[in-house]
């Protein structure tokens, strides 16, 4: 993206304190569709355009990691038609986006219980991770069939399988067995569509993450809105339990 294509408010950003890792709960697709009298699936399709917009912008602003919540382990509770439409959409989008992600030097990553996904989707996601493995720009992580609690359960299972003794269990022993082992904790968590909850997202990793909630629905989220979230983040004082000198 040309600097002149950045939203006007981006000039107010402090380049030295761009959050390294931004996590997002992409919520409000269903409401976006309902307000237009459309079926929920249209909201998910429209939401894909926002994924593209925000991924592009985040890379250009110097964010290193963007982690998007695409499908939670609880989302299987939705009607079967919506679930299968979502699975097909994620597969289609992943497939379709690979050339442009490669062109933008984006590394594509997935967190979640991949083994429980439909086979074609799992294969597509694994292929995409492999194809972009050596890219050195933004790391775009999609959380698919992801749950923060299941992630911790999986980490504990690995601890046990690795024969770790009680004395050896510390925060590092757990962090290094999470799906996000090679990713720093998020600096900023943005949730769209106004709900004030974390919905089982990155429970361990957001211990000291700054949270920003906007009422804007995911499909409506603009580049300017994303920059507004970063501007708000840059006004926060992070203390990590200590005192600010």
Q: Between 17 and 56, how does the x/- string for binding to ligand IPE read (CB under 6 A)?
A: --------xxxxxxx-------------------------
- How many residues are recorded in the chain? 245
Task: State the binding partner of 29 from Mg ion, ligand IPE, none, CB within 5 to 8 A by kind.
Answer: ligand IPE
Query: Judged by CB under 5 A, does residue 27 bind Mg ion?
Result: yes
Nearest approach, Cβ of 12 to ligand IPE (angstroms)? 28
CA nearest to 229, candidates 61, 56, 2 = 61
Binding segment (CB under 5 A) for Mg ion, from list 26-34, 35-43, 76-84, 217-225: 26-34
Query: Judged by CB under 6 A, does residue 150 bind ligand IPE?
Result: no
CA nearest to 107, candidates 52, 160, 64, 146 = 64
- What is d(CA 104, CA 181) in angstroms, rounded to the nearest whole number? 24
Query: Judged by CB under 6 A, does residue 113 bind ligand IPE?
Result: no
Q: Which residue has the tokens 């097909």?
A: 88
Binding test (CB under 6 A) with ligand IPE, winner from 71, 108, 179, 212? 71
- What is d(CA 195, CA 111) in angstroms, rounded to the nearest whole number? 23
Nearest approach, Cβ of 181 to Mg ion (angstroms)? 28
Q: Exactly one of 56, 75, 135, 200 is catalytic; which is it?
A: 75
Q: Quick check: 89 and 60 in contact, CB under 8 A?
A: no
Nearest approach, Cβ of 82 to ligand IPE (angstroms)? 8
If the CB atoms of residues 31 and 127 are measured against ligand IPE, the closer one turns out to be 31
- What is d(CA 186, CA 65) in angstroms, rounded to the nearest whole number? 8
Q: How many C-beta atoms lie closer than 10 Å to residue 121's C-beta?
A: 23
Q: Which three-class secondary structure state does DSSP give residue 218?
A: helix
Beta bridge partners of 109: 141
Task: State the binding partner of 41 from Mg ion, ligand IPE, none, CB within 5 to 8 A by kind.
Answer: none
Nearest approach, Cβ of 26 to ligand IPE (angstroms)? 5
Q: Applying CB under 5 A, which residues contact Mg ion? A: 27
């Amino acid at each position: 993206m040309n600097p002149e294509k950045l939203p006007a408010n981006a000039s107010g950003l402090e380049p030295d304190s761009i959050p390294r890792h931004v996590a997002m709960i992409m919520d409000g697709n269903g409401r976006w569709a309902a307000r237009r009298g459309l079926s929920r699936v249209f909201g998910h399709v429209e939401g894909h355009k926002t994924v593209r917009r925000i991924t592009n912008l985040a890379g250009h602003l110097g964010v290193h990691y963007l982690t998007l919540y695409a499908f939670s382990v609880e989302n299987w509770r939705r009607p079967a038609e919506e679930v299968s439409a979502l699975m097909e959409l994620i597969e289609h989008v992943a497939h379709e986006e690979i050339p442009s992600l490669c062109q933008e030097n984006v590394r594509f990553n997935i967190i979640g219980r991949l083994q429980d996904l439909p086979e074609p989707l799992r294969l597509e996601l694994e292929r995409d991770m492999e194809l972009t493995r050596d890219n050195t720009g933004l790391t775009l992580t999609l959380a698919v069939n992801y749950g923060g609690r299941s992630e911790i359960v999986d980490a504990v299972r690995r601890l046990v399988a690795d024969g770790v003794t009680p004395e050896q269990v510390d925060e590092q022993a757990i962090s290094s067995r999470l799906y996000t082992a090679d990713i720093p904790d998020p600096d900023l968590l943005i949730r769209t569509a106004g709900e004030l909850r974390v919905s089982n997202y990155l429970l361990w990793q957001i211990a000291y993450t700054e949270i920003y909630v906007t009422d804007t629905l995911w499909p409506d989220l603009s580049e300017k809105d994303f920059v507004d979230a970063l501007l708000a983040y840059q006004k926060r004082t992070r203390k990590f339990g200590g005192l600010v000198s």
